Structures are given as C-alpha cells and as structure tokens.
Structure 1
Amino acid sequence: MSVELMVWDEPAPISRDRARAAYLEVKKTEPVSGELPEISKELPGIVTAYDDHVLVTMDLDTMDEMSAQVFATARAHGLVCYDPQRDLVHNVAPLGVYAGMQLHTGDGLIVHDPDLGLVHDVLATMSPQNPFTALVTFGHHFIQVSPGFELEYKEGSLVRTLVEDLEEVRRAFHEYATGERGFLTRHEWST
C-alpha cells in the first residue's frame, strides 16, 4: 500500500479544509509530462508533478521516515505540505519560539519546528491508535497530553494535571510553544 503527500507554494498559511480541497482538485487532473520541478530532486519517494503542485508517493512502511524528509524539504523551500492520510497541513509559519522544537505523536508523526496551526490540528487526532501528542524542546522541557486530557509538563521535575476539554489542551500547547506559561498557574499540578 502507498501513501501520498502534496507540496506546493502558498502566499500565506492555509487551513486543512483549503489544503484538502487543493489536494482533491489536483487528484482530478493529469500529471504534467516533461521535466520535474527542481525540488523533485530533493524529495524521497516517487515524485509526480501537477502544474504548481508536486505529489510524493511512498510505501506505508517508510511513511514516517520519508514524511519527515518531505516536511523538512518543503519547509526549507517555503512550501506547504498536505498529508491526506492524517488530514494535516504543514504551513511554513507561524512557528513557536523554540528553535528545534519537535512535535511527536503516538502514531509516529515527528515534525521539527512545527507551525502552530499544525500543533492545534494534531491535538484533535488523539485516539487509541494515536495515544499521545508531545511538544519537546530536547534538553530543556516538554509538554505532553494523552486521551482523557492528562496533561504532563517537565522542566526539571515531571508534573501532571487533568484538564476538562480539548480547547484547554490546545491553549496550554499554544502557550508552551510561544514561551508563555499561563497553563502552569491555571491548573493544579501533582508530581
């Protein structure tokens, strides 16, 4: 079985709905014949060009590793990347304040320097097949959540709290990513 990612240029960050619509429109068209765009040389997998879009096809077994390469290459070129399997869009900006921050999920997604919209959207994907989401600034601190909204934060010692809903989890992750720490005073934490 194969999976796909789509890469293209957008002047500003776009929503998942817009990225999904662009992907579906491209899938209705025929690939462009002839020479592939310059970025194609840097992308892993099978690359197919469609006017202003590039489709990258890869095996399911190599999806996590190859996807990380595609995300990084797209970011380096200032391009958007849409993941139709996870229904997630990787925009170029806005980013958090920690250079090198990583987004990890229980289903194998790893993104270096994720945009804030992606972090927001990924949090809604938790399930038994995707049992956690974490933002990690290695060597410094991290925030993590699991289904049931158990929030964990570590900067020195690990503390935990339960929050009521996804919106509060999203707020805490946004604050963490942007260097704010309001989530630490809003909740009762235990060790």
Structure 2
Amino acid sequence: MSVELMVWDEPVPITRDQARATYLAVRKSRPVTGAVPEVAKELPGLVTVFPGHVLVTMDLESMDEISGQVFAVARAHGMVCYDPQRDLVHNVAPLGIYQDMQLHTGDGMIVHDPDLGLVHDVLGTLSAQNPFAALVAFGRHFLQVSPGGDQPDAGYEVEYKEGTMVRTLLPDLADVRRAFHEYATGDRGFLSRHAWS
C-alpha cells in the first residue's frame, strides 16, 4: 500500500479544507514531464510533478521517516505540505516561540517547528489510532495529551513537565487546544487556570 504527500507554494497559510480541495483537483490533472522544480530534486520517495505541485508517493512502512523529510524540505522552501492520509496541512507559519520545537503524535508523525494551525488540527485527531499528541522543547519542557479514558465524555489527560511532571484532566478539546496554543506561544496561563497534581 502506498501513501502520498503533496507540496506546493501558497502565499498565506491555508486551511485543511483548502488543502484537500487543491490536492483533489491536482490529482485529477495530468503530470508534467521535462524540467523538474528544484524542490522535487530534494524530495525523497517517488516524485511526480504536476503544474505547480509535487506529489511524493511512499510505501506505508517508510511513511513516518519519509514524511518527516518531506515536511522539512517543504518548510525549507517555504512551501505547504498536505497529508491526505491524516487530512492535515503543514503551513509555513505561524510558528510557536521555541526554535526546534517538535510535535509528536501517537500515530508516528514527528514534525519539527510545527505551525500553530497544524497543532490545533492534530489535537482534533486524538483517538485510538492516535492516542497522544505532545509538543516538546527538548531539554527544557513538554506538554502532552491523551484521551482520558474509554468513555466519550472522559475528557483529556494533560501532562506538563518542566523539572517535575504534573497532570490535570481537562473536560473538552477546546481547553486542550487553548493550553497547547498557550504553551507553544510562551504563555503559561494554562498552568494557573487548571488544577495540577
């Protein structure tokens, strides 16, 4: 089984809906031959060039490793990357304040310097297939979340570590998204707003 990522230039950050629509429209068009864009030369995997877009195809076993490389090349070129398997778009900006911050997910995705929109969208994918998400500023601190239990209304268990590990249970996804946004932007309001143990 193969999986795909699509890379292209966008002047401003786009939504998942916009990225999905672009991907579907491009997939209906014909690949081009001849001159290969510079970014296509740096991308791993099987590369197919469409007008203004580059499609990277890889096998499922190498998806995590190759995806990380594709995300990094796209970012280095200031390009958007859409992941149709996860229905996630990787924009160039806006970013959090921690240089080299990483986003880790329970389904194997690792993104260096994730944009804030991606972090927001990833949190909406928490499930049995993606049992956690974490933002990590290595050597300093991290914030991670997992669904609180088997019940649909069990909330979310959030852990924060900076020296010692503390935990809290947040009732809904909006609270989790706010805490992760604050963490990524250097605001520690989530620590005083919730009861931690």
Q: TM-score if structure 2 supplies the norm length? A: 0.96
- Please give the per-residue CA displacement for 1:36-94, whole angstroms capped at 9, x wherever unaligned: 21111110001011100000000100000000000000000000000000000000000
Q: Show the counterpart of 1:146.
A: 146
SS of the residue corresponding to residue 3 of structure 2 reads strand
Q: Show the counterpart of 1:49.
A: 49
SS of the residue corresponding to residue 130 of structure 1 reads coil
| One-letter identity of the residue aligned with 2:179 | A
| One-letter identity of the residue aligned with 1:167 | A
- What is the CA–CA distance in structure 2 between the aligned matches of 1:169 and 1:17, rounded to whole Å? 22
Percent sequence identity is: 76
Q: Show the counterpart of 1:165.
A: 172
- What is the CA–CA distance in structure 2 between the aligned matches of 1:157 and 1:57, rounded to whole Å? 42
Deviation of 1:35 (Å): 2.4
SS of the residue corresponding to residue 125 of structure 1 reads coil
Q: TM-score if structure 1 supplies the norm length? A: 0.99
Q: Show the counterpart of 1:72.
A: 72
Q: Show the counterpart of 2:123.
A: 123
Unpaired segments of 5 or more residues in structure 2? 149-155
- What is the CA–CA distance in structure 2 between the aligned matches of 1:50 and 1:42, rounded to whole Å? 16
Unpaired segments of 5 or more residues in structure 1? none
Q: Show the counterpart of 2:3.
A: 3
Q: Is the 8 A contact 1:36 1:48 kept in 2?
A: no
| One-letter identity of the residue aligned with 2:187 | E
Q: Show the counterpart of 1:40.
A: 40
1:26 aligns with 2:26: yes
- Please give the per-residue CA displacement for 1:105-151, whole angstroms capped at 9, x wherever unaligned: 00000000000000000001111111100000010000000012101
